[in-house]
Amino acid sequence: MKLLITGGAGFIGSCFIRHILNTYPDYRVINLDILGYAGNLDNLTDVEDNPNYSFVQGNICDKKLVPQLMEEVDACLNFAAETHVDRSITGPEIFVISNVLGTQNLLSWAKEFKIQRYVQISTDEVYGSLGKTGYFTENTPLAPNSPYSASKASADMMVRAYFETYKLPALITRCSNNYGPYQYPEKLIPLFITNVLQDRHVPVYGDGLNVRDWLYVYDHCRAIDAVLHKGREGEVYNIGGNNERTNLEITEIILNALDKPKSLIKYVEDRLGHDRRYAIDSTKIQQELGWQPEMQFEEGIKTTIDWYINNPEWVRKLISKKIAQEVRS
């Protein structure tokens, strides 16, 4: 099978490429990535010489490049997206362009070339916010609260429309918060690890009691693999880690693991429209496709912390790139 993986130089996409090449030695992968601020080819140095892997720099909105690639493949998995909520609040337009129009462009050419499978990688944030109890199921109404989640919900609706209208063999996955190696240090866990390693303050929003369900990235990759090969066309599959933690709990776990004081915690003004709690019910994918999360959070967070400790050059290069981009802008 030959796969087009968009956004494959990002955190989850690069881990999925690694998973596919290690699990299916005869599969071929084309990685299409624009190499924006979070796209990083250093995430894939261990596979760049694999003869079954190729990289193309480009935009999923490109109406000339995308059909050239789509014509060659059997399936497309769309990881490409602008993802950070804070960035969507200060500049929502790029989120609409990339996440909505980019998805529509991929769907259009996937339909044109009659590919066998299209998998949209989405997020539990499209469901909005939960109270103290309950879980998101695949039937939970969409109620996005940030420009980021609204753009992802819009993309999901476009995928649904292409399945219903054109019978495109499309599927959607919605995951909880991912963590693990290679994550760009703007998200909570890698940001706090890298800050604490430098004895810098960690910015905790509001009271720190917002709850997220944490999913180890390679458990997520196995789930997407199952959806790609065994999922029912037109269906949505929720993917969760069964690891609910408050942001403050995560912060204290990282501080304790690195033997650093709680005085590094700095409470900051809460994010606009900050959802209070996310929690995923992943019964459907477990019962239908036989997937379950394997990584226990205590082991996964230790593995993640150790990875950042052992890869300071990866972090240093990203920080240098970020500074250079900020100077240019």
Give residue-wise pLDDT tens across range 198-236.
999 999 999 999 999 999 999 999 999 999 999 999 999
In a domain, 68, yes or no: yes
Tell me how far apart the terminal alpha carbons of the chain are, to the nearest angstrom: 41
Q: Are 111 and 166 in contact (CB under 8 A)?
A: yes
Question: Taking residues 100-104, what's their average pLDDT?
Answer: 98
Is 148 annotated as catalytic? yes
Q: What was the pLDDT predicted at 326?
A: 52
Q: What was the pLDDT predicted at 324?
A: 55
In a domain, 199, yes or no: no
Domain extent for 36? 2-182+214-245+272-299
Question: Taking residues 145-155, what's their average pLDDT?
Answer: 96
Question: Taking residues 162-172, what's their average pLDDT?
Answer: 98
Q: Cα(225)–Cα(176) distance, rounded to whole angstroms?
A: 16
Catalytic residue among 53, 118, 148, 182: 148
Q: Which amino acid is at 181?
A: P
Q: What was the pLDDT predicted at 37?
A: 84
**Would the pTM count as exceeding 0.85?**
yes
**Of the candidates 110, 80, 83, the residue with the CA atom closest to the CA atom of residue 7:** 80
Backbone angles phi, psi at 212, to 5 degrees: -130, 150
Q: What was the pLDDT predicted at 84?
A: 78
Q: Cα(135)–Cα(278) distance, rounded to whole angstroms?
A: 8
Question: Taking residues 146-174, what's their average pLDDT?
Answer: 97
Looking at the 3D structure of the chain, how many domains does it have?
Answer: 1
**Number of C-alpha atoms within 13 angstroms, CB side, residue 148?**
19
In a domain, 306, yes or no: no
In a domain, 16, yes or no: yes
pLDDT exceeds cutoff 50 at 327: no
In a domain, 322, yes or no: no
Q: What was the pLDDT predicted at 329?
A: 52
CA distances from 267 to 191, 194, 251, 324 (A): 15, 18, 11, 28
Q: Cα(153)–Cα(144) distance, rounded to whole angstroms?
A: 7
- Tokens 């458990």 belong to residue: 219
Is 53 annotated as catalytic? no
Higher per-residue confidence, 318 vs 293? 293
Q: What was the pLDDT predicted at 85?
A: 87
**Number of C-alpha atoms within 13 angstroms, CB side, residue 52?**
15
One DSSP character per residue, 120-152 reads EEEEGGGG----SS--B-TTSPP---SHHHHHH
Catalytic residue among 125, 156, 275, 281: 125
In a domain, 162, yes or no: yes
In a domain, 255, yes or no: no
- The domain that contains 165 carries what CATH number? 3.40.50.720
For helices 217-230 and 11-23, angle between their N-to-C axes, nearest 10 degrees: 60
Q: What was the pLDDT predicted at 318?
A: 80
Q: Which amino acid is at 78?
A: N
Is 112 annotated as catalytic? no
In a domain, 281, yes or no: yes
Q: What was the pLDDT predicted at 323?
A: 58
Catalytic residue among 33, 53, 82, 124: 124
What would the pLDDT profile of 57-95 be if each residue is shown by its tens digit? 999 999 999 999 999 999 999 999 998 788 899 999 999
